[in-house]
Structure 1
Amino acid sequence: MPIPPPSTLKRKSSLPVWASIGWRVFAVVALLGLAVGVHWIERDGLKDTADGHVSFLDILYFTSISVTTTGYGDIVPVTNAARMFDAFVVTPIRIFVVLLFLGTAYNFVLKRTWDKWRMSAIQKNLSGHIIVAGYGNTGSETVDELIARGTPPGSIVVIDMSEDRLAHASACGCIILQADATRDQVLTDVKIERAESMIVSAGRDDTSILITLTARHLAPDLRISVTVRNEDNEVPARAAGATTVVNPVSFSGLLLASSCQGSHLSEYLMDLASFHGRVQLMERKAQPGEVGKPLASIATGLGVRIYRDGKPYSFAEPESRALMAGDTILEIATHHK
């Protein structure tokens, strides 16, 4: 995976838009005032080719033309001091003013127009994607695992409020959106109705449940997986519409308890869950050629469980002796790197 560049300390500007534009205008006026003042003091070094007299209005005209263009030649510097001032002061002021106006136009007009067009183009092609709401430790690890399992980074949409986290996600190739995932409009913008699934890991159980509730309202048939840290919140998460609820605290407890009974149990469980392990726990539908045969006879791996009509049956139960069409098989398969 690509390694993002080192982060730098950043802080969002507290200036409103009008103030940001205002200081730019003030800077231009101040520089013009400086040039006008020096030109007026050194007006004897200028020559008006029309009438030979340089008035204050001529100074304003000459300075404005000199700063915004290269001049028309009707008023010209004739002394060395005036020429040096125009060459080494007015010319840098002209360049600075042009760059300032270009930067302002980019920030407040061009960039917003470009961002809207680019977002519209991305939205047009969004379909069958995975939405990840929350890119903290759990969310970033989830994205890494998805990419390792073969999911194209361009089909993963990450929503988070942190600019630094989104920079990391963008470096991985993901589509990013800096926004609040609890809002209907945000989930509508990422085309949740066309998504394949959604993963919610907001860092707070109440926020994760609210995101789940919002997502279920907009996409009734979407697969939604959510993490909660408090066991009491598992039921509310399911009631909000979560298809799968994962409690990392409970899972960590299972691993720790297993490690007390043997030094290899927790390692093997992690091996099953991770793409980088020697074996993988896979889920798939029963193939037509497997219907009627026992779970133990499948050739693709070691069958450990089936799901039939939403109910689980282990390999030792009678239901696993004859697979049926529509059964979902959980198997342990060798990882082919």
Structure 2
Amino acid sequence: MPVLPPATLKRKSGMPVWLAIGWRVGAVLALLALAIGVHWLERDGLKDMADGHVSFLDIIYFTSISITTTGYGDIVPVTTSARMFDALVVTPIRIFVVLLFIGTAYNFVLKRTWEKWRMAAIQRNLTGHIIVAGFGKTGSEAVDELVARGTDPAKFVVIDADADSIARAHACGCTVLLGDATRDAVLADVRIERAEAMIVAAGRDDTSILITLTARHLAPNLPISVIVRAEDNELPARAAGATTVINPVSFAGLLLASSCTGPHIADYLLDLASIHGRVALAERTVAPHEVGKPLSALDTGLGLRVYRDGKPYSFAEPEAQALQAGDGIVEIVTRS
């Protein structure tokens, strides 16, 4: 499953780069000092093949060579204790130092190069995807519903500032990016200009509206669906560029009101909205063979509404009596 690079997926470390490198250098120096100290105390167990005298400088030289290489044989351990110390202590220190330097090189050089290459490769293939800004309860349920309807999880690109939410989205098979969706650079990283649609469910109305405004600035023609919880924020959300604004509180009120006038109306509305229902709402463009026919003559489902030049017309209005090329149709279809 594609994932944007770990540099953007994980939270930024609170440790400065100089401190991260510094503690590694400190660990190496501490191990080197330990080995020098023990070698100095056990210097009688070492033999200098050149002059037969082991000085403190010889100890520093021998320890450094032993830790970084296998040695040159000019100074050698001759006693059992000195040999055991080199075998059981110096050799593990040598392995640890090598791994420490390899890890440092990977973290600060190789890893970043790999991340940049991988991110560029993912971005090249990002097209026709669905961006989900916010993977809380609402955002995750929207993704689950679309996946249940047959959408490939890899088609979703989830942006969230919470690492746990990102981990859940990643487990679902989505492409993920840990970041702030209100930032131009973050939306540009997920190639918003090539996206098919965007779902905004940030959890706060002000944040969702700002994300919508930023997205509309970068992608003027992108369909954007946003959820707001306060009724007076619906107009600002539309003004920010949202194509569809959903207020769950208002929708719940409509369901409650409908249930008072008819016990089955709310059930039918839920049936239409859920993948588990027997029928479903579908939206499409008028087919060439349907041009000139009334909306009621559709053979694919029950026609409800026609969208022409951005305006809606119900099945009972005169405009729905003769479909035109380019009209949008909303119909009720049976689920396969």
| TM-score > 0.5 by shorter chain | yes
* Structure ranking higher on relative contact order (CA contacts 8 Å, 6+ apart): 2
Tell me if structure 1 keeps the 8 A contact 2:11–2:163: no
Distance (whole Å) between structure 2 residues aligned to residue 57 and residue 139 of structure 1 = 66
Deviation at 1:125, TM superposition (A): 1.6
Deviation at 1:169, TM superposition (A): 1.3
Distance (whole Å) between structure 2 residues aligned to residue 81 and residue 308 of structure 1 = 92
**Residue aligning to 1:250:** 250
Residue aligned with 1:128, SS: coil
Residue aligned with 1:333, SS: strand
Distance (whole Å) between structure 1 residues aligned to residue 257 and residue 334 of structure 2 = 26
* Mean Cα deviation higher: 165-174 or 10-19: 10-19
Deviation at 1:252, TM superposition (A): 2.1
Residue aligned with 1:158, SS: strand
Deviation at 1:74, TM superposition (A): 1.8
**Residue aligning to 2:64:** 64
Residue aligned with 2:94, SS: helix
> For the structure 1 residues 266 and 205, does the alpha-carbon distance in structure 2 shift closer, same or farther, using more than 3 Å as the test?
same
The letter for the 2-side match of 1:158 is V
**Residue aligning to 2:109:** 109
Deviation at 1:237, TM superposition (A): 0.8
Residue aligned with 1:38, SS: helix
Distance (whole Å) between structure 2 residues aligned to residue 285 and residue 246 of structure 1 = 23
1:239 lines up with 2:239 in the alignment: yes
> For the structure 1 residues 26 and 323, does the alpha-carbon distance in structure 2 shift closer, same or farther, using more than 3 Å as the test?
same
Deviation at 1:290, TM superposition (A): 1.3
Runs of 5+ consecutive residues of structure 1 not aligned to the other structure: 1-9
1:265 lines up with 2:271 in the alignment: no
Distance (whole Å) between structure 2 residues aligned to residue 327 and residue 203 of structure 1 = 35
> For the structure 1 residues 274 and 32, does the alpha-carbon distance in structure 2 shift closer, same or farther, using more than 3 Å as the test?
same
Deviation at 1:318, TM superposition (A): 2.7
RMSD: 1.8
The letter for the 1-side match of 2:84 is M
**Residue aligning to 2:120:** 120
Deviation at 1:13, TM superposition (A): 4.6
Residue aligned with 2:135, SS: coil
Residue aligned with 1:59, SS: helix
Tell me if structure 1 keeps the 8 A contact 2:11–2:178: no
**Residue aligning to 1:6:** none
**Residue aligning to 2:4:** none
Residue aligned with 1:300, SS: coil
**Residue aligning to 1:48:** 48
Listed one character per residue, the Cα deviations across residues 101-130 of structure 1 (whole Å, up to 9, x for unaligned) are 222222222211111111111111222221
1:216 lines up with 2:219 in the alignment: no
The letter for the 1-side match of 2:284 is R
Runs of 5+ consecutive residues of structure 2 not aligned to the other structure: 1-9
**Residue aligning to 2:26:** 26
Count of aligned pairs: 327
Deviation at 1:41, TM superposition (A): 0.4
**Residue aligning to 2:86:** 86
Residue aligned with 2:108, SS: helix
The letter for the 2-side match of 1:256 is L
**Residue aligning to 2:175:** 175
Deviation at 1:158, TM superposition (A): 1.1
* Mean Cα deviation higher: 188-197 or 250-259: 250-259
Identical residues among aligned pairs (%): 76
**Residue aligning to 2:5:** none
1:311 lines up with 2:311 in the alignment: yes
TM-score (norm 2): 0.92
TM-score (norm 1): 0.92
**Residue aligning to 1:3:** none
